[in-house]
Structure 1
Amino acid sequence: MGRTPIVQFGTSRFLQAHADLFFTEAEPARRVSVVQSSGDPARARRLGALSAPGGFPVRIRGLADGREVDEERRVTSVVRTLSTATDWDRLTTIVVREAEVILSNTADAGYEPQPGDLDRAPHQAMSFPAKLFHLLKARHAAGGGQVLVMPTELVPENGRVLKARVMEIAGATGADDGLFAYLEALPFANSLVDRIVSEPIEPAGAVAEPYALWAIEKAAGVVAPCNHPAVRLVDDLGAIERLKLWILNLGHTVLADMWLAAGGDEAVTVREMMVGEAGGALREIYAQEVLPGFAAHGEGEVAARYRDTTLERLQNPFLDHRLADIAQNHRQKVERRVAAFLAFAGTPAPRLAAVVARARG
Structure 2
Amino acid sequence: MPHTEKTPIIQFGTSRFLQAHADLFLCEGTPARAITVVQSSGDPGRAARLSALADPAGFPVRIRGIENGRVIDEEHRVHSVRRTLSTATDWPELENLVIDEAEIILSNTGDNGFDPCPSDTSAKFDQAMSYPAKLYHLLSGRFLAAGTPLTIFPMELIPENGRVLRERVLEIARQQGAAPAHIDWLNACLWANSLVDRIVSEPIDPVGAVAEPYALWAIENQPGLTAPTVHSAIQMVDALEAVERLKLHILNLGHTVLASFWKDGVGNPDALVRELLREPDGRRMRRVIEDEVLPGFAAHQMGEEAEEYLATTLERFSNPFLDHRIADIAQNHPQKVARRITAFLAWARTADPGYCAPTLEKIAAEGAPS
TM-score by length of 2: 0.96
Aligned to 2:30: 27
Could you say which residue in structure 2 is the equivalent of 1:17?
20
Q: How does 1:187-198 map to 2 (within 5 A)?
A: 187-198=190-201
> Following superposition of structure 1 onto structure 2, how do residues 298-317 of structure 1 map, counting pairs within 5 Å?
298-317=301-320
Task: Compute the displacement of 1:102 (Å).
Answer: 0.3
Q: Equivalent of 1:358, from 348, 356, 366?
A: 366
In the aligned structure 2, how far is the partner of 1:285 from the partner of 1:150? 36
Unaligned runs of 5+ in 2: 350-354
Q: Kindly state the Cα deviation for residue 53 of structure 1 after the two structures are TM-superposed.
A: 1.3
After TM superposition, the structure 1 = structure 2 runs for residues 74-223 of structure 1, keeping only pairs within 5 Å, are 74-223=77-226
Aligned pair count? 361
- Distance, in Å, in 2 between the alignment partners of 1:190 and 1:302 is 21
What are the Cα deviations for residues 22-47 of structure 1, in whole angstroms up to 9, with x where unaligned?
Answer: 01101221100001111111111110
Query: C-alpha root-mean-square deviation of aligned residues, in Å?
Result: 1.0
For residues 81 and 333 of structure 1, what CA distance do their matches in structure 2 show?
A: 37
Distance in 2 separating the partners of 1:99 and 1:323: 43
User: 1:212-249 CA deviation, whole Å, 9 max, x = no partner?
Assistant: 11100000232101111111110111110000111111
Q: What is residue 47 of structure 1 aligned with on the other side?
A: 50
**Aligned counterparts of 2:293 and 2:44: Cα–Cα separation in 1:** 46
Residue 264 of structure 1 contacts residue 324 of structure 1 at CA under 8 Å; is this kept in 2?
Answer: no
Runs of 4+ in 1 over 6 A off after TM superposition: none
TM-score in terms of structure 1 length: 0.98
Match of 1:344 among 342, 347, 353: 347
Q: Which residue in 2 is equivalent to 1:319?
A: 322
**Distance in 1 between residues matched to 2:127 and 2:61, nearest whole Å:** 30
Structure 2: distance between partners of 1:156 and 1:105: 14
Deviations, residues 107-161 of structure 1 (Å, cap 9, x unaligned): 1101000001111001111110000000000000111102100001000000000
Is the contact between residue 111 and residue 162 of structure 1 (CA under 8 Å) also seen in structure 2?
Answer: yes
Q: What is the Cα deviation at residue 359 of structure 1? A: 1.3
Shift of 1:258: 1.6
**DSSP-derived class of the 2:119 partner:** coil
Q: Which runs of 5+ in 1 are unaligned?
A: none
1:262 deviates by 2.2
Aligned mate of 1:290, from 278, 289, 293: 293
Name the CA distance, whole Å, in 2 between partners of 1:37 and 1:332. 30
Where does residue 71 of structure 1 map in the other structure?
74
Counterpart of 2:153, as a letter, is M
The 5-angstrom pairing of residues 221-240 of structure 1 reads 221-240=224-243
What letter corresponds to residue 164 of structure 1 in structure 2?
Answer: E
Moved more, 255-264 or 38-47: 255-264
Q: Which residue of 1 aligns with 2:271?
A: 268
Distance in 1, Cα, partners of 2:67 & 2:90: 42
1:67 corresponds to which letter in structure 2? R
Alignment partners' CA distance in 1, 2:269 and 2:19: 29
Deviation at 1:17, TM superposition (A): 0.2
Residue aligned with 1:121, SS? coil
> What SS is found at the alignment partner of 1:117?
helix
Q: How far apart in 2 are the matches of 1:318 and 1:355?
A: 30
CA drift of 1:264 comes to 4.8
* 8 Å CA contact 1:148, 1:221 repeated in 2: no
Distance in 2 (CA, whole Å) between partners of 1:265 and 1:31 is 47
Percent of pairs with identical residues? 60
CA distance in 1, matches of 2:7, 2:222: 24
For 1:156, give the aligned amino acid: P
| Offset at residue 266 of structure 1 (A) | 2.7
